[in-house]
Chains A and B, each alone.
Chain A
Amino acid sequence: MSSAPEEITVYEEVRARPEFAELRRRFRSFVFPVTVAFLVWYLLYVVLSGWARGFMGQQVLGSINVALVFGLLQFVSTFAIAYWYSRYAGSRLDPLAENLREEADR
């Protein structure tokens, strides 16, 4: 945390490693597109709730309509993305970060 000069070198040294570039690439190439995707998906739902009420009101099964299904799908997609990210981070990010941490400790 302190900005002692030798510590800065540790960060700069790690920053220069190809493993770090790979970690950064894997992290950003997952979280940025997925964030854009779920925000668009969510805004689509909000916009349809405002402007496409005929469509949202169509009944799918008994009293269950498109609006309810669409809303429940937002829950499903949220749970799915959370689970997907945790799997991805566990297998693709954590091992790299751990290696870099161990090397920095040495």
Chain B
Amino acid sequence: MSHEALAITLFLVFVGLTLVLTVRASRQTKDATDFYAGGRSFSAAQNGLAIGGDYMSAASFLGIAGIIALSGYDGFLYSIGFLVAWLVALLLVAELMRNSGKFTMADVLAFRMSPRPVRTAAGVSTIIVSVFYLLAQMVGAGALVALLFGLTGEAAKALTIVGVGILMIVYVVVGGMKGTTWVQIVKAVLLMGGATLITLLVLGKYGFNLSSLLSEAASQSGKGDAFLEPGLKYGTEAQGLAGKLDLISLGLALVLGTAGLPHILIRFYTVPTARDARKSVLWGIGIIGVFYLLTLVLGFGAAALVGSKEIAASNAAGNTAAPLLAEKIGDIVFGGVGGTILLAFIAAVAFATILAVVAGLTLASSSSVAHDLYAHVIRKGKATEKEEVRVAKISAFVIGAISIVLGIFAQKLNVAFLVALAFAVAASGNLPAILYSLFWKRFNTAGAVSAIYGGLGSAVLLVIFSPVVSGKVGPDGKSTALFPDGVDFHWFPLENPGLVSIPLGFLFGYLGTILSKEYRADKYTEMEVRSLTGIGAEKASPH
């Protein structure tokens, strides 16, 4: 059996299993709380695994291992930012959000404000962040099928995107939050299992001596000790000051973005109490932290055993480093068949990873369309639960279909910046609004609306005028920006807007607040008491 056939078989087993779980979940999904929040009945450990499954995207599994394999240490900077970010969620957001919200991020923001403008802003921001992120995953899926199965035709890529899109719609529409959560749990277990197995095999090859693995990676990379130090990819000496500021900017967006990502925030609603939300973040931190330690070994292992040249030849961004390493180490330890089996397994896991993440994103954005925009803005809170859930399902179809079409058309574009942009928007627009809303008594409607639109607008505008969209050239003098050679309208020197747009988001929120007279102390009292004690917080479904 070829590795392609085996990988497809394993992937179909995953799809079959998750569809069974989804159908089972659909039988237990009776009301809006079930659909949006899984009945708030998941345990802390289950939700912790699902947080891991929601968060560890293909970008972090294949992408970070690839950056480490090609550029060494710099990939590790990403892992650290992605992990430390969870402390913001743990200390400042998770429990308070669980106590004061219901289904979406906007529930917390609109708690003591005029609901319509705030829900509109939060809904727009949720949809923008989620769809950017979704699109990047869809395009990644198309690229992955070509790399892993040797199917390079446009038709094969398009078909893959359609398939991924249909599956994610089915998970969300049929299974709601319960189905999506189970997909994420199964994926997290598979991903952790696969990554642990390969890491142990690689470390075993080097007698569990990290230093000898590192020195082999450094010598195979052809870059020597510099491969083990920061500076080969981000903030290189050649890029000068702008490059180094870009590094800080990226670091800020990573660490502050996570606690503003809507698809992560809605996971806190799936457990019975704030205490469980805290515990599930602890589980999440454990799982995600161990995973990033594993990717460190995977990346350096790929550099040492496969070699940077072969990895770069397979995919310029290094996205196939982990699968190639799986094949190589399987071959070394178990012989040729072992290599085929491990490669197939990791390829199937990579697809499972994409599916779990896109399902979470589709759920977050369709929930916001239905609960925020439809039920509260259009129907002014008069929609019944049934109508709301029906609109959520229709939205999942529409958002899924739009992502499929955009994903196919974006196939040839370099969309890596979309994930960075999603984090920047989340950190610049959503996080200031969330923190002000939870901790600042004076904060009001004008403040929330200006924080979201101001932060979101600054991040998007700065990216449009950054070298990522126009004017960036590779070492060969050809354009590596979104626009081709000859088009250059960039004036903002950094690729990541965070360093400027995050402070702007906080500033807009502050100015918007103090320039408006609205001040509702009574509602803040309610929110403060509720968020800290859980009095009046949404309860778990009885069934």
Contact = CB atoms under 8 A, between A and B. Distances in A.
A89 B275 CA distance: 9
Q: Which of B235, B278, B525, B532 has the most CB of A within 10 A?
A: B532
* Chain A interface mostly: helix
B317 interface: no
B157 interface: no
B87 interface: yes
Contacts of A67: 73, 228-230
B215 interface: yes
Nearest to B90: A82
Interface string B516-527: 000000110110
Contacts of B212: 62-63
A46 B76 contact: no
B210 interface: yes
B373 interface: no
B520 to A, nearest CB: 11
Given A35-B88, A82-B90, A53 B230 contact: yes
B525 A97 contact: no
A33 B87 CA distance: 13
Interface stretch (B78-86, B468-476, B482-490): B78-86
Contact-residue size bin, chain A (C-beta under 8 Å from the other chain): 35 or more
Given A11-B526, A12-B525, A46-B247, A71 B76 contact: yes
Contacts of B275: 89, 94
B215 A49 contact: no
Interface of B is mostly: helix
A101 B534 contact: yes
A43 B256 CA distance: 12
Nearest to B245: A50
A34 B92 CA distance: 10
Interface stretch (B130-138, B282-290, B506-514): B282-290
Given A75-B83, A78-B83, A49 B528 contact: no
A35 B80 contact: no
B526 A50 contact: no
The 10 closest A-B pairs by CB, nearest first: A62-B211, A49-B230, A63-B214, A46-B251, A63-B215, A50-B244, A57-B229, A11-B526, A31-B91, A11-B529
Interface of B: 73, 76-77, 80-81, 83-84, 86-88, 90-92, 102, 210-212, 214-215, 218, 225-226, 228-231, 235, 244, 247-248, 251-252, 255, 275, 278-279, 281-282, 285-286, 289, 292-293, 522-523, 525-526, 528-530, 532-536, 538
Interface of A: 1, 3, 7-8, 10-12, 14-15, 20, 23-24, 27, 30-31, 34-35, 38-39, 42-43, 45-47, 49-51, 53, 56-57, 59, 61-65, 67-68, 71, 74-75, 78-79, 81-83, 85-86, 89, 94, 97, 100-101, 104
